[in-house]
Amino acid sequence: DKGSAAAIPINEVDIAYVTPVTIGTPPQTLMLDLDTGSSDLWVFSSLTPSTQVRGQEIYTPTKSSTSKLLSGHTWSIRYGDGSGSRGSVYTDNFTIGGLEVRSQAVQTALEVSSSFTQEQSLDGLVGLGFSTLNTVRPSSQLTFFDNARPNLDEEVFTADLKYHATGSYDFGFIDSKKYTGNITYTAVQQSPGYWTHSLSGYSVGSGAFQASQISGISDTGTTLLYLPTAIVTAYYRQVQGAQNSQYYGGYVFPCSSTLPTFTFGIEGARFTIPASYINYTRISPTSTTCYGGLQSSSGLGINIFGDVALKAAFVVFSGTNPPRIGFATK
Ligand SMILES: O[C@H]1CN[C@@H](c2nc(-c3ccc(C(F)(F)F)cc3)no2)C1
């Protein structure tokens, strides 16, 4: 089996990407955020209090002839930005891009935090981390990828996220039309459940490549690139007027600044993030101060290779044993 679906930016600065999925019989279509940094598949539902639903599509299990309550099971999750949700669990038929999983655990929200309520074009998440991270209790559930794996032509899914444009997620195959050159793979350390791997180093603009192993997670659900403070200060030292603002919670600079590119290594390969990806957004619609797409990871306890980095490459998440992750130029 295989599947292919769009990854659509939900706003003009690519804060997140959503993908159309169908749940149940007859199919109910929702737009979900595929997140390699978590492993719960949850949706806004008919069980979500209406005061917490603002424009989202909802999944109504009672309208599906193939839904089954997973009785006595609950879940509760907190994301890196402090947002969260919790609820109950059904199983139902679940499809992404023509790839169907029968009786996928679909976690129905009984409560969502205000930032989810405010994000009206996002109807939930599909966790594509390792199933060990799943929060359903008393028995944890498998991700869509883990359920689909036995039937996939190849045990992979790929992410082709794009800057200010629609990209794609593919399941079960590697589309050679979506990248150039070779795919460079590197080892993944799957505990505690993230796609954890190392960069082989970095360079700023036309500067020399600094070889150093930088461990972190490739996380499609995180918007920005978070790296050690030493690297981030070296980058913004090249930007006139840049400063690390307590007020804005990170590096800001004049929107008119000329930013250098940022290059990261995967083994012997090099991937360059265009300056435009790092000139992330104005701090407010009329401001001339901009917020950087590269920020320090010091407060997070982990380096996160989020969309700002991932959209500079074609990324292969390989569920082989042992798992590995591959990057190619596109
Ligand atoms: O926890 C880590 C796992 N991957 C990262 C992630 N974060 C979100 C997220 C999505 C949407 C929202 C909201 F809509 F704005 F509320 C909030 C957080 N999705 O994946 C962080």
What is the reported pLDDT for 191? 84
Atom of ligand 1 nearest to the CA of 222: 5
Report the sign of the C-alpha dihedral through residues 44, 48, 51, 57, in that order. positive
CA 53 – ligand 1 centroid, Å: 17
CA 216 – ligand 1 centroid, Å: 17
Q: Could you report the per-residue pLDDT of 240-280, keeping only the tens digit for each?
A: 999 999 999 999 999 999 999 999 999 999 999 999 999 99
Closest CA to 23 of 53, 66, 52: 66
Q: Judge residue 113's burial from the number of C-beta atoms within 10 Å of its C-beta, 0-12 exposed, 13-18 middle, 19 or more buried.
A: middle
End-to-end CA distance of the chain: 25
Verify whether residue 170 is a known catalytic residue: no
Q: Could you report the per-residue pLDDT of 13-25, keeping only the tens digit for each?
A: 999 999 999 999 9
Nearest residue (CA) to ligand 1, atom 12: 116
CA 221 – ligand 1 centroid, Å: 6
What is the reported pLDDT for 28? 98
Cα distance between residue 44 and residue 329, in whole Å: 36
Mean pLDDT of the chain, nearest integer: 98
Verify whether residue 219 is a known catalytic residue: yes
Residue pair 252/290 in contact by the 8 Å Cβ criterion: yes
CA 200 – ligand 1 centroid, Å: 27
Q: Judge residue 288's burial from the number of C-beta atoms within 10 Å of its C-beta, 0-12 exposed, 13-18 middle, 19 or more buried.
A: exposed
What is the reported pLDDT for 212? 97
**Residues having CB within 6 Å of any atom of ligand 1:** 16, 33, 35, 37-38, 79-81, 83, 115-116, 119, 122, 125, 219, 221-222
Atom of ligand 1 nearest to the CA of 36: 4
What is the reported pLDDT for 82? 97
Q: Could you report the per-residue pLDDT of 69-128, keeping only the tens digit for each?
A: 999 999 999 999 999 999 999 999 999 999 999 999 999 999 999 999 999 999 999 999
Residue pair 283/292 in contact by the 8 Å Cβ criterion: no
Q: Could you report the per-residue pLDDT of 38-56, keeping only the tens digit for each?
A: 999 999 999 999 999 999 9
Q: Which of 35, 160, 170, 307 is flagged as catalytic?
A: 35
